[in-house]
């Protein structure tokens, strides 16, 4: 790696500044950090410290080389989330450079953006990347039935729990039930009014159970809760999913990942949602948003793409043009690649106006420079972030086996 001293014959520019991460990222509790960048014709270096005096003792990070994303695990009533690019009050993810230097993701993004963008409040967040890992039990492992007004989401199914779904086919609540709508002669207003009534009846029972768990000790209460929840579920569409399937979730689409269906999720970097219903106690708010959500929900929803629809052919796997676009949303595009053993392909960073993310679904890959130096090694369910000013790189299937990656 180049250092400032090795670039004495090149024209260098340097800048130092302090950034209030809490203000920049609208996340209470984040610290202020000092940033320093050193740039020459072909090198961009950066480092951060809690105080200006600390900078001189900090190691430089090459800002043109990709970094590994370190995960943060967040416990949920239905299971857990594994964050890769989270910047929230509940937790902040870190990055690790190829020289094993670690710093918080918002600090790293501030370095990438530079002094002017930090001062102008023009920092851009990467797409949110996380794993959703629901529990296998249907009573505990189903997520909220919710919709978003701004957020676009993509699920790629990575596993289906065999105990929950012995045939390997899981479920996702998605949109509304067409057969149920037929029962109301296609009248959407009457359908939605009936659904709101059903949810209201279930919520009364849910609130009593949440206030006093002893209610569930009564078989009558437990049976009544289960019956009412099944009635609520009957108004929503059920999509069958297998490993490799892709579920596109545009705004205003009711959805709920079901028990035992593990997915990797890419989404717009915004936090907003409307909760229609939940068969457990909601921990993050004291109300549901049923009426508002139903008033804005869309009935027309996209189809699930199966793995056979997006999987590369054997011939295409031997080509450097075998990237498959599995999602093309306004905020981001997700591409999928199945690498054959030892296959190496370039990553197209030049056409990107912001940072890019690479997630390994299966196998392991090496991220290499043009001179075949190994910059990063990534195993299954590991991810990396690539700066838009990054050096040209290639990815290569490692360990003698095939690999499947997602690139956004």
Mean pLDDT in residue range 14-34 = 93
Alpha-carbon distance 261 to 172, whole Å? 8
- Region 8-31: mean pLDDT is 85
Q: Are residues 361 and 220 in the same domain?
A: no
Buried residues in 237-272 as b, exposed as e (16+ CB within 10 A): bebebbbbbbbbbbbbbbbbbbbbbbbbbbbbbeee
Q: Could you tell me whether strands 261-267 and 236-241 are parallel, antiparallel, or unpaired per DSSP bridges?
A: unpaired
Residues 287, 319 within the same domain: no
pLDDT at 307: 59
Each residue of 343-369: pLDDT tens digit?
999 998 877 768 999 999 999 999 999
Structural domain for 395, as ranges: 313-407
**Does one domain contain both 144 and 279?**
yes
CA 67 from chain center: how many Å? 17
Give residue 350's pLDDT.
73
CB 34 within 8 A of CB 16: yes
pLDDT of residue 323: 85
Task: Give the other-Cβ count within 10 Å of 59's Cβ.
Answer: 12
Exposed/middle/buried for residue 9 (C-beta within 10 Å: 0-12, 13-18, 19+): exposed
Task: Give how many domains the chain has, as a whole number.
Answer: 3
The predicted structure's pLDDT at residue 316: 36
Instruction: Provide CB contacts within 8 A for 48, sequence distance 6+.
Output: 33, 34, 35, 36, 55, 58, 103, 107, 108, 110, 111
pTM score, two decimals?
0.90
| Residues facing 170 on adjacent strands | 241
Residue 223 has pLDDT above 80, yes or no: yes
**Residues 144 and 270 placed together within one structural domain of the fold:** yes
Are 353 and 266 contained in the same domain?
A: no
DSSP annotation of 305 reads: B
| Helix (H) or strand (E) segment spanning residue 381 | none
Strands (E), 333-373: 333-339, 344-346, 356-362, 365-369
Average pLDDT of the chain, as a whole number: 90
How much is the CA Rg of the chain, to the nearest whole Å? Answer: 24
How confident is the model over 261-284, as a mean pLDDT? Answer: 94
Q: Is the pLDDT of residue 195 over 90?
A: yes
Distance CA 341, CA 335 (A): 19
Confidence bin at 333 (pLDDT 50/70/90): confident
38-97 pLDDT per residue, tens: 988 788 999 999 999 999 999 999 999 999 999 999 999 999 999 999 999 999 999 999
297 within a domain of the structure (yes/no): yes
- Give domain status of residue 374, yes or no: yes
The pairing of beta strand 246-249 with beta strand 153-160:
antiparallel
pLDDT score at 390: 83
Q: Read off the CATH number of the domain in which 319 is found.
A: 2.60.120.10
pLDDT of 224: 92
Q: CA-CA distance, 203 to 150, in Å (whole number)?
A: 26
- Is there a domain that residue 350 lies in? yes
Q: What does the alpha-carbon distance between residue 391 and residue 408 come to, in Å, rounded to a whole number? A: 17
Q: Are residues 108 and 43 in the same domain?
A: yes
Q: Assign 385 to helix, strand or coil.
A: strand
Q: How far apart are CA 118 and CA 106, in angstroms?
A: 11
pLDDT band at 308 (very low <50, low <70, confident <90, very high): low
Query: Is 337's pLDDT higher than 90?
Result: yes
Output 46-51 pairs: Cβ under 8 A, ≥24 positions apart: 46/111, 46/112, 47/111, 48/103, 48/107, 48/108, 48/110, 48/111
Question: 237 and 108 share a domain?
Answer: no
> Would you place residue 7 in the very low, low, confident or very high pLDDT band (cuts 50, 70, 90)?
very low
Helix (H) or strand (E) holding 66: none
- Residue 319's pLDDT is what? 40
Model pLDDT, residue 312: 39
Q: Is residue 283 domain-shared with residue 320, that is, in the same domain?
A: no
**Average of per-residue pLDDT across 90-117:** 95
Among 99, 128, 157, the domain boundary falls at 128
Rounded to whole angstroms, how far apart are CA atoms 382 and 405?
A: 10
SS3 171: strand
Separation in Å, CA 93 to CA 70, 327, 341: 6, 25, 31
Domain co-membership, 107 together with 156: no
Contact 273, 151 (CB under 8 A): yes
Name the domain boundary from 105, 128, 151.
128
Same domain, 165 and 237: yes
**156 lies in a domain?**
yes
Question: Does 159 share its domain with 38?
Answer: no
Task: Indicate the residue among 84, 104, 128 that finishes a domain.
Answer: 128
Residue 1 lies in a domain: no
Q: Are residues 57 and 85 both part of a single domain?
A: yes
pLDDT band at 8 (very low <50, low <70, confident <90, very high): very low
pLDDT top residue among 11 and 314: 11
Is 303 a domain residue? yes
CA 233 to chain centre: 26
140 occurs within a structural domain: yes
């Amino acid at each position: 790696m180049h250092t400032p001293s090795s670039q004495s014959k090149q024209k260098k520019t340097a800048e130092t500044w302090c950034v209030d991460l809490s203000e920049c990222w609208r996340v209470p509790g984040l610290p202020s950090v000092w940033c320093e960048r050193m740039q020459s014709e072909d090198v961009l270096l950066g480092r951060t410290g809690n105080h200006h005096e600390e900078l001189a003792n900090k190691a430089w990070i090459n800002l043109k080389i990709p970094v590994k994303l370190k995960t943060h695990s967040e416990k949920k009533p239905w299971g857990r989330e594994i964050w890769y690019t989270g910047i929230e009050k509940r937790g902040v993810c870190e990055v690790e450079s190829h020289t094993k230097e670690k710093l918080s993701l918002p600090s790293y993004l501030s370095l990438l953006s530079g002094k002017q963008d930090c001062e102008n409040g023009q920092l851009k967040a990467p797409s949110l990347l996380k794993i959703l890992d629901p529990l296998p039990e249907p009573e505990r492992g189903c997520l909220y039935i919710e919709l978003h007004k701004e957020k676009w989401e993509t699920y790629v199914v990575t596993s289906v729990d065999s105990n929950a779904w012995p045939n390997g086919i899981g479920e996702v609540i998605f949109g509304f039930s067409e057969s149920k709508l037929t029962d109301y002669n296609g009248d959407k207003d009457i359908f939605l009014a009936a659904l709101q009534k059903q949810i209201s009846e279930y919520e009364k029972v849910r609130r009593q159970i949440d206030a006093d768990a002893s209610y569930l000790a009564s078989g009558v209460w437990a049976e009544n809760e289960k019956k009412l929840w099944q009635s609520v579920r009957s108004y929503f569409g059920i999509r069958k999913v297998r490993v490799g399937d892709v579920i596109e979730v545009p705004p205003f689409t009711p959805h709920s990942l079901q028990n035992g269906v593990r997915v990797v999720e890419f989404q717009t970097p915004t936090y907003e949602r409307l909760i229609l219903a939940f068969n457990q106690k909601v921990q993050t708010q004291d109300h549901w948003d049923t009426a508002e959500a139903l008033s804005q929900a869309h009935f027309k929803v996209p189809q699930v793409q199966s793995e056979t629809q997006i999987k590369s052919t054997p011939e295409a796997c031997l080509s450097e043009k075998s990237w498959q676009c599995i999602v093309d949303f306004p905020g981001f595009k997700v591409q999928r690649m199945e690498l054959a053993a030892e296959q190496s392909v370039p990553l197209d960073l030049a056409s990107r106006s912001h940072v890019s993310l690479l997630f390994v679904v299966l196998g392991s890959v090496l991220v290499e420079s043009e001179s075949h130096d190994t910059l990063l090694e990534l195993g299954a369910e590991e991810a990396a972030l690539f700066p838009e000013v990054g050096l040209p790189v290639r990815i290569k299937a490692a360990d003698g086996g095939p690999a499947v990656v997602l690139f956004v």
